[in-house]
Amino acid sequence: MAHHFYFRHRSLSVATSRGCNWKRLTMLPTILMLMWLAMPGLLLAEGTPASSAIPAEDYALYDQTVESIFLTSYTRLVMIERMTVTRLFPDQTEPTTIGSVQDRNYFMGRLPPDLVRDFVGVNREAGRLEGRFTFGVRYQFVTGQSLEEPEVSAAVPVQALPVLERLAFSRVGRTLRKDQALVYVEQMRPDETGAGFLIWFHREGREWTIVDTEVVWTIQGGQRP
């Protein structure tokens, strides 16, 4: 009788074990799906962007930045760095981190953590800007010290146009809800003066609006930021 009870108990244990294993197997797809959904956030937290391509929708924010901050009625040509920058200061050698952004208390510390995380993550790697700007003034890409083919008519020499000195953009960071965005832009002049700015956007419906601008650094008369 004891042996009979032992085998029944063992059979029950095996069946229970098989049932648990089956439940684990049925839960496995759900677990994998949750891990996959969380992966972009994990990658950005580690500073590895998912793609090096510049999304087409980011150019509307670049356009608004140029129009709102830099263009004047006299500007006829804008010089733009072809590659985005991955830093916030001209002499910066260390990568930008979430901690370094938070420590500087930009916008009085009001930036959402997920916006800071995405901004830092996407700007670990430079992206190549394309000819998608539509801010209403002709522009020319610059790579290092080399000018690319001008976007102006050959009948109008570049030197004859009022030129806005070189602009360089970061890539655009966004909140998880895609309702806020952050971009860095800097303007450098031939005399090595200039300034860098963080531009904070909010989205209402389909419209993006600049809600605040922070001066990150300025160089005047040979001073360094």
Q: Residue-wise pLDDT tens for the chain (225 aa)?
A: 444 444 344 444 444 455 545 555 456 555 555 554 444 444 444 444 446 789 999 999 999 999 999 998 888 889 999 999 999 999 899 999 999 999 999 999 999 999 999 999 999 999 999 999 999 888 999 987 667 765 544 344 445 455 667 999 999 999 999 999 999 999 988 788 899 999 999 999 999 999 999 999 999 875 655
What integer pLDDT is reported at residue 46 of this predicted model? 43
**What is the per-residue pLDDT for 115?**
98
- Judge if 6 and 95 occupy the same domain: no
Together in a domain, 126 and 167: yes
Tokens 């965005």 label which residue?
181
> Structurally, how many domains does the chain consist of?
2
Sequence-distant (6+) residues with CB within 8 A of 105 are none
Residue with tokens 């001008």: 150
Say whether both 26 and 77 belong to one domain. no
**How high is the pLDDT of residue 62?**
98
Q: Note whether 69 and 41 are same-domain residues.
A: no
Q: Give me the pLDDT at residue 221, please.
A: 72
Residues 35, 66 within the same domain: no
Specify if 134 maps to a domain.
yes
In this structure, are residues 192 and 91 in contact, taking their beta carbons and an 8 Å threshold? Answer: no
Same domain, 96 and 163: yes
Both tokens of 209, joined, read 């609006």
85 three-class SS: coil
Type of residue found at 107: F
As a whole number, the mean pLDDT across the chain is 79
- Report how far residue 82's alpha carbon sits from residue 127's, in angstroms, rounded to the nearest whole number: 8
Question: Do 32 and 62 reside in the same domain of the chain?
Answer: no
18/93 same-domain check: no
128 and 64 co-located in one domain? yes
Please give the residue range of the domain that contains residue 97.
58-219
Confidence at residue 30, expressed as pLDDT on a 0 to 100 scale: 59
